[in-house]
Amino acid sequence: MASNVVRPSDAELLQAQADLWRVSLSYLTPMSLRCAVELGIPTAIHRHGGFASPADLITALSLPSAKLPFIRRLLRLLAVAGVFTVDKTTAEERYCINPVSYLLVDGIPDEVHINHTSLVLTCTSTRYLEAAIGLAEWFKKDVVTAPFEELHGATLFHESMESLDPDYHNMANEALDAHDNFGIEIALREFRDLFEGIQSMTYCCGTCGDDKAARAIVKAFPHIKCTVLAPPKMIATKPADGVMINYVEGDMFNFIPPAQSVMLKLVLHHWTDEDCVKILAQCRKVIPSREDGGKVIVGDIVIDYSGPMLETHLLMDIGMMTMSKGRQRDENEFREIFVKAGFSDYKILKKFGARVAFEVYP
C-alpha cells in the first residue's frame, strides 16, 4: 500500500532529529537527579543558606576540585529541568532551592514536608529500569503479569519483594509513603467543609497499608467516628497515642465495615478495572442513601488531556503499567467503573496537585 505521508520540510527534519536526541537522552535527567540526591546536593544547598555556587558545593561535599566543571554541567541540566533555580546576579552563578528541590532536603522541621529522596532512588533504581528496558519483550508475550513482576519474580510493595531484597523493599515503601501521604495537612485545610459534614467514615488502607491519613483526619475532626480496614500486620503495629479509631482486619474485596462514607485514597490506581468495580461494589453495599449522606470519597490521579500535568499523568500511567497491574484513568474511565459498580452519580470536588477528589453517590 502506498504511503500518504507527505515528506517533511528540511527545517522539520532538522528539528525532528533534535527532538529525537531530546527524547532518547531524556533518561539522563532523572539519572542526573539521582546523582544529585546521592551526593546530597539539595541538603547541602539548603544548609548553605538556600543557594550555593558550584565551587561552594565542591567544598561542602568534599568533592575533588577537578570535578568543578562537571558539577556545573550537572546543575545546569537540573536547573533547566526545574529542580533548582539559578541566580546569575553574582560573578559565579548560584543554584537555589525551589519547591521541587525543597522536597529533597533532609531535616526540614515542617509538618507538611516529607523527604522524597526514596521516591527518586526507587524510580531510578536498576530494578525499575530493567523492567522498563524489557517492555518490548513483554509486549510479545501472552501474559498480563506486570513487567516488573515478570522480570524479578516478585511483586512491588509485597512480601515477595521483601523476601527477595529487603533493602529495596524498605526503600520502595518509603517512596510509596511519600507518594501517598504527602499533603495530608494541606488536604485537611482544603477539604475542611467535606470533613465537617461527615459523621462516620471507613478508611480503606490500600497498597501502602498505613493509617496516617485516617489518624490525621480524626485528630483534626474528632467528631468523625472512624473505622480503619487494615491488614493484620498494620493493626499489630498501630501506635497507642489515644486517637479514637476502630481497627478491623480484612480486605476490601470481601468486606467493608458500614459507615456514612468510605474513603479510598490512592487505592484504585493500583488495581485493574475489574478489581476496582469489585471494591466499589463493596463500598456501595455499606453506605446509606445519598439523601442520608451516603458517599464514597475517592482521591486519585486523573488524566487531564487539556491540563498542564498531562505528561506527568501519562508518565505515571506507564510507570504503573511497568511496575504493577494498576493504571491511571481519565474522568470517563472513572465514570465507567463507578456506573458498573452501581453508583448513580459523582462529583469532582476539586483538583489537588496532580490528583482529584471525587464524591461518588449510590
Positions marked active-site: 269
Q: Roughly what angle, to the nearest 10 degrees, separates helices 310-323 and 126-133?
A: 90
Strands 295-303 and 261-265: parallel
Owner of C-alpha cell 485545610 = 189
- The span from the CA of 250 to the CA of 158, in Å, is 17
The string over 260-273, giving b where at least 16 C-beta atoms fall within 10 Å of a residue's C-beta and e elsewhere, is bbbbbbbbbbbbee
- The span from the CA of 237 to the CA of 206, in Å, is 16
φ, ψ dihedrals at 225, nearest 5°: -85, 110
- The span from the CA of 174 to the CA of 250, in Å, is 23
- From the CB of residue 246, how many other CB atoms can be counted at a distance below 10 Å? 11
82: helix, strand or coil: coil
